[in-house]
């Protein structure tokens, strides 16, 4: 749903020029003063090719991470987070600056120490139902319809902070629930409103591009917990630190192009991982998301698209598995002593062939040398089966039973390896290996099992997380 925004104007300095800005909530225009128009034209928009002769510059790009402006109408501060390296448009000396977000400040304090994210997804991941208790006397309820609802204290509904790193800077994360009493009750609003939040806290900063970076990490974290990319965080509440050691709300960051559907039906069915299953691991996951070491490229755009498998998605899921396998087992598949001796001997023979050959033969030998000690997808799947079968094997056995088959990690590895190679090498004449479809579905569970196990989450919680996320409907012991 598009946010209503009243157009505003003000002053904004860019490259030591005081521009007048015009902002409509999406597009930022910079209008130069009359005495700077010649400079804008000859030095910014044109390129001199000879004295008095100019040609149009191929591209004017934004080189600042953010611009700060003061609004004429409200005297408040606007921080425009730009798309660095993006093209700056121009028309009649007016510059059109590409933006990714903007921060609207209530007053001129522009140092940020806390971010609070809210959304329907967060209300589910840290359930708002934990924010209240109910007391019911059976007689009062049955005879008079009376029961008591009590909100829980902030301490009871706020999780223990977990630390993580983003670009070598420490950040902490916690979840909380706030309550609001709606005194002027409207027909479409409840009298008591509860809302969950995910909060990031850090050293006070005026690095607003870092603030946007934290927003990106938060969004990816929620995408990971929901196994889909269509998660939206259009607004973020920002806080400054106070002298008493607390925080004061003073600004809101609005992210552009964040309109979308959070899939309420999917949320209602419980297809997500709750925070209570990740206690103590939140910071580790966020650190790996920030560093790019947690594989997320295979996440589907929507729940529905995640149920559709094409060649590209097949390859991406197997790539996710191989990435996570190598992250967890950097030494590769465990091998017998005889296998290691054989590989060492072959590697030595190939090394001699490389030294004694030239040209194309030498390149071929070098290629073969890289294959000697490499692991196949099949061998990795067989090994991981020994590691995670006790954790999620029950899901795999049931999946294959529905297809009148038995779970075999070696057969699963052969099918997935063959089908992946058909797609990767363009073997379109090869028929689709039918059982590789349930193989791939089970591999999705395996990827999450590997990842969650990596973060030290116990087997019981891993099973609950996968059961919820993929809506497997298993009755697991509490």
Same domain as 216, residue 119: yes
Of 46, 71, 105, which one is at a domain's C-terminal end?
105
List C-alpha distances in Å: 146 to 131, 186, 274.
Answer: 20, 22, 32
Are residues 95 and 132 part of one domain?
Answer: no
Q: Kindly report, residue by residue over 286-296, the tens digit of the pLDDT.
A: 999 999 999 99
Lowest mean pLDDT among 3-17, 125-139, 359-373: 359-373
Percent of the chain past pLDDT 70, that is, above it, reads: 88
44-76 pLDDT, tens digit each = 887 767 676 667 666 788 999 999 999 998 888
**Residues 438 and 353 reside in one and the same domain:** no
Residue 3 lies in a domain: no
Residue 221 shares a structural domain with residue 182: yes
Could you tell me if residue 299 is inside a domain? no
353 in any annotated domain? yes
pLDDT at 314: 94
Q: Are residues 388 and 422 in the same domain?
A: yes
Q: Average pLDDT, stretch 303-323?
A: 93
Same domain, 24 and 156: no
For residue 179, what pLDDT is reported?
72
* Confidence bin at 370 (pLDDT 50/70/90): low
Does a structural domain hold residue 300? no
Quote the CA–CA distance of 19 and 43 in Å, as a whole number. 16
In this predicted structure, the answer to whether residue 372 has a pLDDT above a threshold of 60 is no
Residues 65 and 130 in one domain: no
Encode burial over 257-295: b for 16+ CB neighbours within 10 A, e otherwise. Answer: eeeeebbeebbeeebbbbbebbeebbbbbbbbbbeeebb
Query: Is residue 152, in this structure, part of any structural domain at all?
Result: yes
**Are residues 13 and 133 both part of a single domain?**
no
354 pLDDT higher than 90: no
Does 435 map to a domain?
yes
- Provide the pLDDT confidence category of residue 106 given band limits of 50, 70 and 90: confident
Same domain, 393 and 412: yes
Residue 21 belongs to some domain of the structure: yes
In a domain, 430, yes or no: yes
Task: Identify the residue with better confidence: 80 or 426.
Answer: 80
Q: How many domains does the chain have?
A: 4
Last residue of a domain, one of 347, 374, 401: 374
End-to-end CA distance of the chain: 39
Question: Quick one: pLDDT at residue 1?
Answer: 45
- In this structure, of 112-126, 216-230, 374-388, 397-411, the range with the lowest mean pLDDT score is 374-388
The model's pLDDT over 399-409, given as tens digits with 9 standing for 90+, comes to 999 999 999 99
Q: Same domain for 384 and 405? A: yes
Indicate if 224 and 363 belong to the same structural domain: no
The pLDDT of residue 304 is above 70 = yes
Domain that holds residue 271: 112-291
Residue 213, pLDDT score: 97
pLDDT tens digits for 208-251? Answer: 999 999 999 999 999 999 999 999 999 999 999 988 888 999 99
Q: Are residues 341 and 329 in the same domain?
A: no
Q: Which of 70, 105, 140 is the last residue of a domain?
A: 105
Give me the pLDDT at residue 41, please.
Answer: 86
Q: What does the pLDDT read at residue 371?
A: 56
Are the beta carbons of 421 and 314 closer than 8 angstroms? no
Give dist(CA 328, CA 321) in Å, integer: 11
* Residue 353 pLDDT level (bands cut at 50, 70, 90): confident
Structure confidence at residue 277 (pLDDT): 97
pLDDT band at 6 (very low <50, low <70, confident <90, very high): confident
């Amino acid at each position: 749903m598009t946010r209503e925004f009243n157009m505003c104007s003000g002053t904004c300095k860019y490259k030591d020029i005081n521009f007048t800005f015009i902002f409509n909530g999406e597009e930022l225009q910079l209008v130069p003063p009359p005495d700077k128009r010649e400079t804008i034209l000859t030095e910014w928009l044109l390129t001199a090719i000879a004295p008095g002769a100019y040609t149009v510059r191929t591209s004017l790009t934004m080189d600042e991470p953010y611009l700060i402006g003061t609004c004429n109408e409200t005297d408040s501060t606007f921080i425009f987070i730009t798309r660095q390296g993006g093209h700056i448009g121009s028309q009649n000396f007016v510059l059109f600056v590409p933006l990714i977000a903007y921060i609207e400040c209530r007053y001129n304090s522009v140092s940020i120490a806390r971010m609070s994210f809210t959304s329907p997804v967060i209300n589910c991941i840290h359930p708002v139902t934990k924010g209240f208790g109910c007391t019911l006397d059976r007689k009062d309820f049955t005879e008079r319809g009376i029961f008591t609802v009590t909100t829980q204290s902030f301490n009871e509904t706020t999780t223990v902070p977990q630390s993580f790193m983003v670009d070598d800077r420490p950040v902490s994360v916690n979840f909380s629930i706030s309550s609001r009493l709606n005194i002027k009750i409207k027909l479409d609003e409840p009298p008591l409103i509860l809302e969950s939040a995910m909060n990031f806290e850090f050293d006070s900063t005026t690095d607003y591009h870092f603030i946007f970076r934290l927003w990106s990490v938060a969004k990816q974290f929620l995408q990971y917990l929901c196994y889909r990319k269509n998660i939206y965080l259009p607004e973020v509440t920002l806080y400054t630190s106070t002298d008493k050691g607390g925080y004061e709300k003073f600004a809101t960051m609005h992210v552009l192009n964040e309109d979308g559907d959070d899939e309420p039906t999917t949320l209602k069915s419980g297809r997500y991982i709750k925070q209570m299953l990740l206690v103590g691991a939140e910071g580790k996951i966020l650190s790996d998301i920030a560093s790019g070491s947690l594989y997320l490229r295979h996440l589907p755009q929507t729940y529905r698209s995640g149920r559709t498998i094409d060649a590209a998605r097949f390859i991406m899921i197997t790539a996710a598995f191989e990435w996570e396998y190598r992250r967890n087992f950097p030494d590769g598949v465990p091998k017998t002593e005889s296998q290691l001796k054989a590989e060492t001997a072959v590697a030595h023979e190939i090394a001699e062939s490389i030294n004694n050959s030239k040209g194309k033969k030498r390149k071929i030998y070098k290629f073969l040398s890289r294959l000697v000690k490499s692991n196949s997808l099949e061998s990795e799947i067989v090994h991981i089966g020994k590691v995670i079968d006790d954790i999620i094997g029950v899901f795999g056995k049931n999946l294959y039973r529905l297809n009148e088959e038995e779970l075999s990690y070696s057969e699963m590895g052969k099918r997935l390896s063959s089908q992946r190679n058909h797609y990767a090498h363009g073997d379109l004449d090869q028929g689709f290996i039918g059982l590789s479809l349930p193989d791939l579905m089970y591999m999705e569970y395996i990827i999450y099992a590997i990842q969650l196990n990596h973060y030290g989450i116990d087997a019981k919680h891993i099973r609950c997380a996968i059961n919820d996320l993929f809506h497997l409907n298993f009755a697991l012991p509490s």
